A and B are shown apart, each in its own frame.
Chain A
Amino acid sequence: MSFLTLDSLTKRYGDTTAVDTLDLSIERGEFVSLLGPSGCGKTTTLQMIAGFALPSAGRIVMDGRDMTDLAPNARGFGIVFQSYALFPHMTVTENVGFGLEMRKITAPERRRRIRQALGLVRLDHLDDRYPRELSGGQRQRVALARALVIEPPLLLLDEPLSNLDAKLREEMQLELRNIQRNVGTTTLMVTHDQGEALSMSDRVVVMDQGRAMQIAEPFRAYEEPADIFVSTFVGKTNLLEGQVAAGTNGQPCVDLGGQRLDLFGAGMVGDGPVRVSIRPERLEMTACRQGLVDGRVQTRQFAGDHWLYQIDTPVGLLLATCPNCGPASFDVGDEVGVRWTPDSMRLLKDRPKTTLSLGGMS
């Protein structure tokens, strides 16, 4: 029996279905992210778990207890809001202590736990400041301390890092995850940032149009995307149109615009048209006629730790990244070969058209 179970959770607003029969089981202590573009239903899901929105159908069960219809103030979950939602008229201490006060915890015990929580987020020195006197990162920590001090069974994070600048966000990703590991609170995070979801979570739920498209560990979601949406949303990829066919030696192979490439366990999806996904870092650039396809470098971008090439080839425009190990080997306009190993190809079926249109309508 898992710790938190979402059982066919559904939310409808009039004719639109924001969350469509979502099933999810979360283990105790796990860090799970709901990842998807805006409007995919991830925030609505969080709202239902928090109790701010009532599900149209389905159940939320935690630790064997049905929480579906419980009022938000009876659930006892810690929530970090996107805007942090700190109480502007209370000091840091009063903000963090609010939940303890509601639980009628005695003043000395309250002081001890506030100090402990502020120590956890390294803010002990700012305890008598007001929120507007703090920086964005500090407010974020106060919000986290306020959510954790009540020792919630479940921590809900709603785009917790989206208001921070890029550098601070990376620092906070690490720190947030470390804190979560230390206190061991089961955590569900909503984010639209795939990098954030991949780097922080034990498992990722990739959502689109109210449905969970894939629930997997970050590495699996990246390496073995369940469908085209997941492969394009989680990381960058090259999507090539192809046809599965029988090869010369009886081995199945894929036909990419005339190029026949053997498939060695690249994931079989039967006959017919398929899409082949290859990650840019799996493409290797070589001299002309030494790769699987030839092409011409169209653009080159320098991104610090790697070079990013766009190569025009007969099978389509390919995106390739090369680690920065010295000056770039190729220039715009160069004729190059591109090769990749068969095991870096992922075969993906097009999502059936009917499902797509249903998803759009429902």
Chain B
Amino acid sequence: MTETVMETMRPRSPNRARHLERWLPLWLTGPAAVFFLVLLGMPLLMTLALSFYTFDYTAGIDKTLTFANYAEVLFDGYFHEIFLRTYAISLVTTVLCVLLGAPEAYILYRMRSPWRSIFLLVTLGPLLISVVVRTLGWVLLIGGNGLLSQLLQGLGLAGSRGVSLMYTHTGVVIAMVHVLVPFMVISVWASLRKVDLSTGDAALSLGAKPFTVMRRVIFPQVLPGVLSGSLIVFALTASYFATPSIIGGRRLKVVATSVYDEYLSTMNWPLGASISIVLLLLNVIIVMSYSRWVERRFRRTLGEG
């Protein structure tokens, strides 16, 4: 097998070698590029086109081009609320993921084997389970007759009607944090691998208290990981569908669920398309300006990348 590969790869003449050198990258990246163009690029272009079409409740979709959909998304208070709610949930979820995930990653990293692998598996394991299943698990916990409600009633902290976190911001955020915190752990973990932990010892020897060591020495070094982790979490939360739709429901619409409703309840596809294009553009702007800022911030201290 290896031999035949070597045989075909070996350049027969300088001319052939130059030819291979020039076209090899294209052959290697080609299939994936075509795959993405067809499966991601095409639908995206079609959505973009769709977002400019005209919609009428009686006549349906008409291919007359219009900016009316965008005008509605950009100037209607209803959509402002939805976008604000989405980014507020994203922001809170991201902050909570940093507060939980960064220390979690550090503690896991300092654990001895076999505990380190066991707890890492416990942390990352949920990624193997469908988001819908995990979210429904939260419904069982935080719903009206859920465990949380029963616990609080048992302790006499809640009235006979119980406490439900369903269709509340708190409920959505709790479930989202749970779903997304592994991404933060992975990201911070990757950063920690590059950190010389003896810098912590050095800070201790210079008289720093353990908390100061964390705050002044270890955390700044894993900050790139925290920042890229929060980028992942933020971008995912802003476009998340399953969890907000199950726990937030119709009462707490976010952008993704409102797109879904436009497509499948109202049947106003052009409006749904323009909402998703606006969401995409906003996300791209946020992600790009954020990562440019991060790059500039760390170029001198921690190197490129």
Contact = CB atoms under 8 A, between A and B. Distances in A.
Contacts of B29: none
A34 interface: no
A187 to B, nearest CB: 15
A20 B209 CA distance: 31
A78 interface: yes
Contact of B301 (A79, A81, A130, A150): A130
B145 to A, nearest CB: 50
Contacts of A52: 201, 204
A112 interface: no
Nearest to A94: B216
B201 A132 contact: no
A157 to B, nearest CB: 12
A50 B300 CA distance: 32
B199 A72 contact: no
B4 interface: no
Interface in A319-353: none
Interface in A45-101: 50-52, 71-79, 81-83, 85-90, 98-99
A146 interface: yes
B22 to A, nearest CB: 36
Given A78-B205, A98-B206, A87 B217 contact: yes
Interface residues of A, number: 31
A88 B301 contact: yes
Contacts of B223: 89
Given A87-B199, A88-B302, A89-B301, A76 B207 contact: yes
Interface in B186-211: 196, 198-199, 201-210
A133 interface: yes
Which one of B205, B223, B303 has the greatest number of beta carbons of chain A within 10 Å? B205
Contacts of B209: 73
B188 to A, nearest CB: 15
A81 B202 contact: yes
B215 to A, nearest CB: 12
B203 A79 contact: no
Nearest to B217: A87
A103 B208 CA distance: 9
A103 B216 CA distance: 15
User: Which bracket fits the contact residues of B?
Assistant: 20 to 34
A25 to B, nearest CB: 23
A86 B209 CA distance: 17
B201 A72 contact: yes
B199 A85 contact: yes
Contacts of A102: 206-208, 212
A198 B173 CA distance: 64
B198 A85 contact: yes
Nearest to B208: A102
A87 B92 CA distance: 31
Given A52-B201, A130-B300, A130-B301, A89 B220 contact: yes
B206 A99 contact: yes
Nearest to B202: A85
Contacts of B208: 73, 98, 102
Contact of B196 (A51, A77, A85): A85
B205 A73 contact: yes
B201 A98 contact: no
Interface in B264-305: 300-303
A79 B199 CA distance: 11
Contacts of B204: 51-52, 71-73
B207 A89 contact: no
B135 interface: no
B51 interface: no
Nearest to B207: A102
A155 to B, nearest CB: 11
Interface string B207-237: 1111010001100110100000000000000
Contact of B198 (A77, A78, A83): A83
Nearest to B303: A132
Given A83-B196, A83-B198, A85-B198, A146 B301 contact: no
A85 B201 contact: yes
10 contacts: A51-B204, A73-B206, A74-B207, A77-B205, A85-B196, A86-B202, A87-B217, A88-B199, A98-B203, A150-B206
Given A81-B198, A147-B205, 4 more contacts: A52-B204, A73-B208, A79-B201, A98-B203
